[in-house]
Amino acid sequence: MKRDKFIIIDGNSLANRAFYAIPLLSNSKGIITNAVYGFNNMLIRIIENEKPSFLAVAFDKSRKVFRNDLYEDYKANRKAMPTELRSQMDLIKELLKAFNITYYEKEGFEADDLIGTIIKYGENQNWENLILTGDRDALQLVSDQTKVLLTKKGITNLEIYDVDAIKEKYNLKPAQIIDLKGLMGDTSDNIPGVPGVGEKTALKLLHEYESVENLYNSLGEITAKKLGEKLTENKEMAFISKELATINCEVEMDIKVEDLALKEYNPEALLDLYRELEFQNHYRNISTEQDPQTSLPEIGESISNSNILEEILQLNTEKKLIFMLTFDPKDVKGLHPKGMGLLINEKAYFIRFENDFSRYAEVLKPYLENNEITKVTHDVKKAKVCFMKENIHIEGLEWDILIGAYLLDPTQNDLSIEGLISKYLNNQVEKTGNEIFMLMHGLKDLSTLIINALEEDLLMRLYLDIELPLVQVLAKMEMQGVKLDRIQLEEMGKDLSERIEVLTSTIYRWTNEEFNINSPKQLGVVLFEKLGLPIIKKTKTGYSTDAEVLEELAREYQIVNDIIHYRQLVKLKSTYVDGMLNIIDPRTEKVHTSFNQTVTATGRLSSTEPNLQNIPIRLDEGRKIRKAFIPSEEGYILLAADYSQIELRILAHISEDQVLIEAFKQGQDIHRRTASEVFGVPIEEVTTEQRRHAKAINFGIIYGLSDFGLAKDLGITRLEAKNYIDNYFSRYYGVKTWIDSIIEKAREQGYVTTLLERRRYLKDILSKNNNLRKFAERTAMNTPIQGSAADIIKLAMIRIDEKLEQNGFKAKMLVQVHDELVFEIPPNESSRVITIIKESMEEAYPLEVPLTIDMQVGFNWYEMESI
C-alpha cells in the first residue's frame, strides 16, 4: 500500500537560501520581498512536484538554545541575521498562514530539533518523510522512512539523500554523521571538534571504529603519534562536539495529525498578501483560479437624453450613487466635463453631456444634494468645483478613491482610476470605447478594497477627520479665486524686461560676443572654453551649467552672478508675470489655482496654474509679485497668518527635548537660544553671525544636513561644521535620541508616520546603495515633522472654514502656501475674523509647546503690516 507523504521544511534555512539567491526586491512601499518571493516559489514547487498529504515548517525561535549551556561559544561566530532578511520573517509566516500550513518554533530549541521530533512522529505514523533543508546536519535523520532534500545552489537545485546516498558519499550510516561532526567539527556552527582532524581523517577513523565512543575505547591502537596526542588532548571536546551536533528528537511538542495535514489555502488571505507584496503573477494565478471571469464588465448603456437620466436615477434602490465625471484630455484643470459614468443597481451607464452640462446637472441636483444618498467617486474635489459652478453642492460624500489610495501610499506614481484598477484589481483597462463601463465597476470594487485597507493601516481617522472635510474647503477656495491687479503685473513685466535687457548687455560685455544665454550648450562653451572658467562637471552633451555649478562659480566670477540673476528674472517674467496674465479670468480678474491634495509625499498641499508655493519670495523681485494679489472688493483687506517656526515646535514635541521645550515655552528666540547652546555664550551676547549660523543648524537638523552640507551653506570648514553639529546634539540630546529611534523604527517597519498617523513608505531605507539609504534616512527624519505641520494647518483650515460659515461672515480663505494662510476680510468683520483665525490656528492640535501665529494685514500681499 502506498504510504502518505509528509514534508517538513527548515524555514530558516529556506528563507536564508532565498534571500541570498534572489537580488533584493521591494514593493512600491519599500518593503523588502526577495526572501518571501523565493520562499513562496519553492513552497509552491515542492507541493506541486511532491504532492504531499502532510506538510509543516519549523523555525528557529531565538539565537540562544540549550546547546549554549553545553558550549557557550556554540554558533558564536554566526553573524546576526541581516535586517533585510529579518524584516521578511514575519511575512513568510503570514504566507504560511495564508496557505493554511502549520509552522512550529520553540524557545531554547533550533528548527533542527523540532524537525527531528516531528520526523520521529511521522515515522511512527508510517509516513514517507522528506526534510527540505540546506543544512547537512539533517542527514543524521535519514532512515528507511526519511529522506533529505538538500538545497545545493540557490533554491531550485536539490539533491536527494537516502541511506544509500549517504553510504555512497561518506561510506557511513546516517547515525554516524554526528560522529563525523564530533571529530572534524563544523565551522559554520562553531563546533570545535578535534583540532587538526579534518574530514578525510575523521572518515578514515569512523570507517575503522564506527563511532567516537569506540574510537576512544580503542585509542591505544592508534599508531600515528601526533593524531593519538590530538585525540587524547581533546577527548572532552570530541564528545561535547558530538553532543552539539546531535539533533534532539525528544522535544516536548503538541503534534497533531490534523495540524500537519495539507489543507486548501485561504484565497482571500493569499490574495491580500500577494497584492500587498505586489507579486503580480501569483496574484493573477490565484485570482484566475478563484474566479476565471476576473475581467471587469465592458457592458453598459450610453445615454444622451436628460429625461432618460431622470428615469435611471429614479430606479436607484441602493441609496448609493457611484459616479465619475469624464473630461477631454486637453482639459487639464477639469473645467468642462464632457460626460459622467454612473453605476446604479449594478448596471453601468455613460451620460453624454453633449455640451450642455447645465441641463444634466439640473437633473442630478436633487440626488447629489441628498445627504441620504451616499456618494462614491474618484477625485471629488474636481466634481465639487464643476457642480458648484452650477450652484449644486454635493452632500453625503462617503468615499473618494483618489484620496483613499493616496493615503495608503503617497509615493505611488499612478493614482488615476485606470492605474488603481491595474494595481489593486489586477485588471488592465484598454481604450475600447467602452472602458467607462469597466471603470465604473472597478470604482465600486476599489471602494470596498481601499476602505478595508485604510482601516487596516489605521488611516481612517486621517481620511474622515482631515482629508475628506478639507475637500470642501479647497473647492470653495478654488471657486473663490484671488484677484490680481493686471496693471501692476503688466508694469512688473515691463520692468523685468528692461532689467533682463540690461543684464543681457552686461553679460555680452563680459564675453565680447552675443550668444543665446538660455542655451545651456552655448553658455557652457562661452564659460568654459572662451573664458576658461574651471569645469565643475560635465553632462553627456557637454558642460553642466546647472544651478549648483553656477552657484559654486559665482563665489569668484561676477559674470556667473549676472547669469544667475538673469535666469531668475527670466523665470519670474515667464512663469509668474506672463504666466499669470495668461490665466486671469477676464470676467472676474481673478486666478483660480488648483490645490493638489494628492501629490506630495509628505501630505503638504501643492498648487498649479498658478503654482503659488513656488513664487521665489527670497528674491526681492519675487516677493514683489505678491504686490499684484489684492482683495476682490473695494475696502476689503488681505490678512496673512503664518505659523511661526512650526516645524521646530513639532520637533520639540515629538523629540521631548527639554531644552527646546523650555525655550519655546518661555517665548525665547529659538535661534539665539541655539547659538547660546552651541557656541557656549550667554544668550544676550549672541552675535548676528552666531544667530545666522544657529538658524542654519536648527533648520538643517530637520532635513538631516551633514557637516559637508552645513559647511557649504555657511562657508566654513567641514571640521567646524562637524563641531557645530556635535555641540548641538550634546545640548539637544533629546533630538539626537529621537533621530536615532525614528531611523531605527523606519528600518523595522519600512515607513514613518506623522502625529496624525499619516504614512510615508521608505523603499530605500535598507538599500545597500549608500546614497539611496542616506536619503531615505533623511526622509525618515523630516517626514514626521513636515507631514505633521501639513496635518496641523489642514486642521486649522477646516476649523476656520466651519466658523466663518457658522457665523455667516463674508471673509474668505483665498490661499494656502506652506505654513501660511491668506484671507480677504471686509472691514466690519476684521476684529472678529482675526480672533477666529488666530484661535483656530493656535489650537489646531495640542503640542507640548505653544503654536504661535505671525499675522499681517494690507491692501496687497506684499505691502503688509504686522498686527
**CATH code for the domain in which residue 403 is found:** 3.30.420.10
Contact 570, 550 (CB under 8 A): no
Judgement on whether residues 165 and 242 belong to the same structural domain of the protein: no
Residue 259's pLDDT is: 94
Total tally of structural domains belonging to the chain: 5
The pLDDT of residue 293 is above 50: no
Domain span at residue 384 reads 301-481
Q: Which tens digits make up the pLDDT trace of 611-653?
A: 888 888 888 888 899 999 999 999 999 999 999 999 999 999 9
Residue with cell 517674467: 573
Instruction: Please give the helix or strand (H or E) that residue 497 lies within, else none.
Output: helix 486-511
Judgement on whether residues 41 and 144 belong to the same structural domain of the protein: yes
Q: What percent of the chain clears pLDDT 70, i.e. is strictly above it?
A: 98
Q: Where are the beta strands (DSSP E) in 72-230?
A: 102-104, 128-133, 146-151, 158-161
CA distance 594 to 382: 9
Amino acid at the residue 486: R
Q: How confident is the model at residue 319 (pLDDT cuts 50, 70, 90)?
A: confident
477 falls within a domain? yes
Q: Which of 448, 466, 481 is the last residue of a domain?
A: 481
827 falls within a domain? no
Contact 279, 95 (CB under 8 A): no
- Side-chain half-sphere of 814: how many Cα atoms within 13 Å? 24
Residue 284's pLDDT is: 65
Judgement on whether residues 434 and 320 belong to the same structural domain of the protein: yes
Judgement on whether residues 328 and 458 belong to the same structural domain of the protein: yes
Q: Which three cell numbers stand for residue 658?
A: 527639554
Judgement on whether residues 345 and 277 belong to the same structural domain of the protein: no
Residue 288's pLDDT is: 55
CA distance 581 to 540: 37
Residue 440's pLDDT is: 92
Contact 460, 404 (CB under 8 A): no
Chain mean position to CA 704:
18
Mean pLDDT of the chain: 89
Q: Which of 222, 247, 272 is the last residue of a domain?
A: 247
Contact 348, 436 (CB under 8 A): yes
Amino acid at the residue 836: I
Judgement on whether residues 427 and 547 belong to the same structural domain of the protein: no
Judgement on whether residues 177 and 163 belong to the same structural domain of the protein: no
Judgement on whether residues 399 and 365 belong to the same structural domain of the protein: yes
Task: Point out which residues pair with 630 in neighbouring strands.
Answer: 483
Contact 572, 620 (CB under 8 A): no
Residue 204's pLDDT is: 84
Task: Point out which residues pair with 348 in neighbouring strands.
Answer: 343
CATH number, domain containing residue 688: 1.10.150.20
Residue with cell 538673469: 566
The pLDDT of residue 533 is above 70: yes
Residue 569's pLDDT is: 94
Q: Where are the beta strands (DSSP E) in 108-225?
A: 128-133, 146-151, 158-161
Q: How confident is the model at residue 294 (pLDDT cuts 50, 70, 90)?
A: very low
Q: Which of 716, 748, 780 is the last residue of a domain?
A: 780
146 falls within a domain? yes
Please, what's the b/e burial string for 789-822 (b: 16 or more CB within 10 A of its CB; e: otherwise)? bbbbbbbbbbbbbebbeeeebebbbbbbbbbbbb
Closest CA to 73 of 266, 241, 281: 241
Cα dist from 77 to 67, 180, 183, 189, 192, whole Å: 14, 21, 19, 7, 12
The pLDDT of residue 224 is above 80: no
747 falls within a domain? yes
Amino acid at the residue 531: L
Q: How confident is the model at residue 292 (pLDDT cuts 50, 70, 90)?
A: very low
Judgement on whether residues 572 and 713 belong to the same structural domain of the protein: no
Q: How confident is the model at residue 365 (pLDDT cuts 50, 70, 90)?
A: very high
619 falls within a domain? no
Sequence-separated (6 or more) residues with CB below 8 Å from residue 321: 342, 344, 367, 368, 373, 374, 375, 376
Cα dist from 834 to 490, 817, 829, whole Å: 32, 18, 8
The pLDDT of residue 314 is above 50: yes
Cα dist from 298 to 347, 348, 427, 541, 697, whole Å: 11, 9, 12, 48, 58
CA distance 626 to 630: 9
361 falls within a domain? yes
762 falls within a domain? yes
Q: Which tens digits make up the pLDDT trace of 438-462?
A: 899 999 989 988 888 888 888 999 9
The pLDDT of residue 519 is above 60: yes
The pLDDT of residue 296 is above 70: no
Judgement on whether residues 142 and 179 belong to the same structural domain of the protein: no
Q: Which tens digits make up the pLDDT trace of 587-611?
A: 889 999 999 999 999 999 999 988 8
Q: Which three cell numbers stand for residue 612?
A: 503659488
Q: Which tens digits make up the pLDDT trace of 47-82?
A: 988 899 999 999 998 777 788 777 787 777 777 888
Top mean pLDDT of 237-246, 313-322, 397-406 is at: 397-406
CA distance 378 to 326: 10
Residue 287's pLDDT is: 61
Q: Which tens digits make up the pLDDT trace of 783-804?
A: 999 999 999 999 999 999 999 9
Judgement on whether residues 269 and 342 belong to the same structural domain of the protein: no
CA distance 10 to 141: 13
Q: Which tens digits make up the pLDDT trace of 149-208?
A: 998 766 667 889 999 998 888 888 898 888 888 888 887 787 878 888 888 888 888 888
Q: Which three cell numbers stand for residue 19?
A: 534571500
User: Which residue has better confidence, 431 or 671?
Assistant: 671
Q: Respond yes or no on whether the N-terminal peptide bond of residue 586 is cis (omega within 30° of 0).
A: no
CATH number, domain containing residue 514: 1.20.1060.10
CATH number, domain containing residue 155: 3.40.50.1010
Judgement on whether residues 13 and 145 belong to the same structural domain of the protein: yes
165 falls within a domain? yes
